[in-house]
């Protein structure tokens, strides 16, 4: 198959590209940032309808994977325009270009943030959608737009609601590198490697056994395999649907730090501070639907493997 990966230079997108290429597919990456030199890359902003039309005139894609979005909750609160512009308006431009080019299949990166404060855990796909920040609202808006595009134009989509994407390529070729970094596991590992003096723990007074937040960490390679199954499902005529992607296992911030101490064998300095705004105490996925409908089976549910792969990456690139 021939696939377009929008945002294929990013953390999850780059793992997806590797997965698709190793399955023997043809891949073109559209991104504002360059990828590895051996990957076919089109420098493109999806807000640019003409550039999209040119791209779709040059290539016939069987499906599009859309990873390109802003992802920082805090920034979405202070600068919502940026989030609605990129995550919603630019995505709409992409979808309209797909309709013009008669591309009928899309796998879309959504998020557990569409649910807002959980009313129950584990969270299944029927859980009410009540996002509590512009980031989550932007993703939920696109999910609803996609339902309308299916009804009106027959554009079939799978929306994958990630819980906490984590880890790195098990072969060590790819990993996580955000600027600025805000995610827990890379920050802990930077404290372990000495790139950072300490990691800050946001809140010790949550209603959880050790008082720190519980999250469902899902390995980035398992996210990639879920996307590959999702596109096969669509190409075989599957109906548009949303799926949670998580392991169904919750680990506290303290447990992640303990796992990182065990994996790295290094002391990791911790600074305790107050809660970060908008963090629910516990987020854990019910991912039965993805397992049943897509046949998804995560390979890396253990925290040690997830943290271990991320640690390989952190150690491999001390220059970053
Ligand atoms: N967290 C923390 N210190 C940090 C970054 C994150 O204690 O420096 C906590 C955060 O409060 C949350 C968990 O780690 O409970 C995961 O946060 P992350 O930002 O990695 O992902 P999110 O849950 O926001 O998608």
188 pLDDT more than 60: yes
Non-local (6+) Cβ contacts of 6 within 8 A are: 13, 30, 31, 46, 64, 65, 66, 67, 68, 94
User: Under a CB-based contact definition with an 8 Å cutoff, are residues 245 and 179 in contact?
Assistant: no
Same domain? For 128 and 91 the reply is: yes
**Of 243, 244, 254, 262, which is closest to residue 307 (Cα–Cα)?**
262
Q: What is the CA radius of gyration of the chain?
A: 19
Residue 176 lies in a domain: no
Alpha-helical regions (H) of 60-125: 73-78, 80-83, 91-100
CA atoms 111, 113, 115, 118: torsion sign: positive
253 plus 157 within the same structural domain = no
Ligand 1 atom having least distance to the Cα of 253: 14
- Could you say which of 83, 135, 206, 233 is catalytic? 135
Average pLDDT, integer, range 52-67 = 98
pLDDT at 164 over 60: yes
Q: Is 181 helix (H, G, I), strand (E, B) or coil?
A: coil
Determine the pLDDT at residue 318: 56
Residue 317 clears pLDDT 80, i.e. is over it: no
CATH code of residue 198: 3.90.25.10
* pLDDT, position 319: 53
Distance CA 234, CA 29 (A): 20
Q: Which of 134, 132, 52, 54 has the alpha carbon at shortest distance from 93?
A: 52
- 267: helix, coil or strand? coil
Task: Classify residue 266: in a domain, yes or no.
Answer: yes
Domain membership flag for residue 9? yes
CA distance linking residue 49 with residue 11, whole number of Å: 25
Residues 190 and 101 in one domain: no
Listed in order, strand segments (DSSP E) in 7-163 are: 26-31, 41-43, 63-66, 105-111, 156-162
Domain containing 193 equals: 184-214+249-314
Q: Average pLDDT of 277-296?
A: 96
Q: Which atom of ligand 1 is nearest to the CA of 212?
A: 15
What pLDDT does 316 receive? 86
Q: Which numbered atom of ligand 1 lies nearest the CA of 275? A: 11
Same domain, 18 and 70: yes
The reply to whether 135 belongs to the active site is yes
Domain co-membership, 122 together with 188: no
Its pTM stands at 0.97
Query: Does residue 73 fall inside a structural domain?
Result: yes
Among protein residues, the one whose CA lies closest to atom 22 of ligand 1: 164
In a domain, 174, yes or no: no
255 lies in the same domain as 238: no
Ligand 1, pocket-test mutation among 70, 202, 220, most atoms within 8 A of CB: 202
284, pLDDT greater than 70: yes
Please check whether residues 6 and 155 belong to one and the same domain: yes
């Amino acid at each position: 198959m021939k696939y377009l990966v929008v945002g294929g230079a990013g953390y999850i997108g780059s793992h997806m590209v590797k997965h698709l290429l190793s399955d023997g597919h043809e891949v073109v990456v559209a991104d504002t940032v360059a990828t590895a030199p051996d990957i076919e890359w089109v420098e493109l902003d999806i807000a640019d309808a003409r550039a999209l039309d040119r791209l779709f005139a040059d290539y016939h894609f069987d499906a599009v994977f859309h990873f390109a979005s802003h992802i920082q909750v805090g920034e979405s609160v202070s600068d919502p325009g940026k989030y609605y512009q990129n995550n919603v308006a630019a995505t709409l431009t992409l979808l309209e270009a797909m309709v013009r080019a008669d591309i009928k299949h899309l796998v879309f990166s959504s998020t557990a943030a569409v649910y807002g404060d959980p009313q129950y855990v584990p969270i299944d796909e029927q859980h009410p959608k009540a996002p509590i920040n512009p980031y989550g609202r932007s993703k939920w808006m696109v999910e609803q737009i996609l339902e309308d595009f299916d009804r009106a134009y027959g554009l079939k989509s799978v929306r994958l609601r990630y819980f906490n994407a984590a880890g790195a390529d098990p072969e060590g070729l790819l990993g996580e590198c955000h600027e600025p970094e805000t995610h827990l596991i890379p920050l802990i590992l930077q404290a372990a490697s000495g790139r950072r003096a300490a990691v800050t723990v946001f809140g010790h007074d949550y209603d959880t056994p050790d008082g720190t937040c519980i999250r469902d960490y899902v390995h980035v390679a398992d996210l990639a395999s879920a996307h590959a199954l999702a596109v096969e499902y669509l190409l075989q005529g599957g109906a548009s649907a949303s799926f949670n992607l998580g392991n169904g296992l919750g680990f506290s911030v303290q447990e992640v730090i303990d796992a990182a101490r065990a994996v790295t064998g290094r002391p990791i300095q911790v600074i305790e501070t107050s809660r970060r705004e908008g963090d629910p105490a516990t987020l854990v996925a019910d991912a039965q639907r993805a397992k049943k409908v897509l046949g998804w089976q995560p390979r890396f549910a253990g925290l040690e493997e997830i943290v271990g792969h991320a640690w390989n990456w952190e150690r491999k690139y001390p220059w970053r």
